[in-house]
Amino acid sequence: MSKPTAVIVLCEDNRTFSFARSYLKKCGVSHGIRPVISPRGRGCGFDYVIKNFAVQVNAYKLASARLHAWLVAIVDADTGTVAQRIGQMNAELTNAQEPRVKAIRIEDERIARLIPRRNIETWILALNSKAVSENADYKDSINSSEGWSALIPPASETFYTWTRANAELPEGLIASLRHGADEMRRVFQLAR
């Protein structure tokens, strides 16, 4: 795999960015990671990611002209579905002003759409071998930021292992996490 020289991480919050950064470091990307995080206290995080998706796709396309760039967009499904969030992201591309964004085929680009259901905490727990349900909200199941921070490195290590080309995904894996692993595998395949 050819390592990216620039990675845009579009996400809802700092915990999600910490997970993404830890994962990218496992992939060998130690610099060139640009966070685009929803500002705190300014509305819903998922709205920010959805509304900024087309803008960041355009930034990715511009960066790709001179760099080996990736875009990793992470948005919680909340009580919706992965398919609904993908539909919202696709609608933003369709409605974009920039022709290069309107014409983009995500399947052919180094753009990953990771959509934890319900939220990133569900993935962090599942990646740490905890039994989870995609219908439950685990955001407050650990009372401290330090507790979540301690779970992120092993979670990103597991996600890294599961996103390798020939990795066997465990049976019973939650659907949103399986989709996320498949998205990253596709990006790695395109990066060769």
**N-term to C-term CA, the chain:** 5
pLDDT of 82: 97
Cα–Cα distance for residue pair 50/84, rounded to 1 Å = 11
Q: At what angle do helices 14-26 and 120-127 cross, to 10 degrees?
A: 40
Contacts of 179 (CB under 8 A, 6+ apart): 82, 115
- Structural domains of the chain, count: 1
**pLDDT digit string (tens) for 104-134?**
999 999 999 999 999 999 999 999 999 999 9
Amino acid at 99: P
Residues (pLDDT < 70) of the chain are 1-2, 41-43
The verdict on residue 30 lying in a domain is yes
- The CATH number that applies at residue 11 is 3.40.50
The verdict on residue 111 lying in a domain is yes
The verdict on residue 1 lying in a domain is no
The verdict on residue 31 lying in a domain is yes
Q: Give the chain's mean pLDDT.
A: 94
Amino acid at 125: L
The verdict on residue 29 lying in a domain is yes
SS3 45: helix
pLDDT of 159: 98
CA angle, residues 76, 78, 82, in degrees to nearest 5 = 65
Cα–Cα distance for residue pair 143/107, rounded to 1 Å = 39
Domain hosting residue 115, numbered range:
6-190
Q: What does pTM read for this prediction? A: 0.95
DSSP H helices, the chain, are 14-26, 45-64, 82-94, 99-102, 120-127, 145-162, 175-190
3-state DSSP percent of the chain in helix, strand and coil, to 5? 50, 10, 40
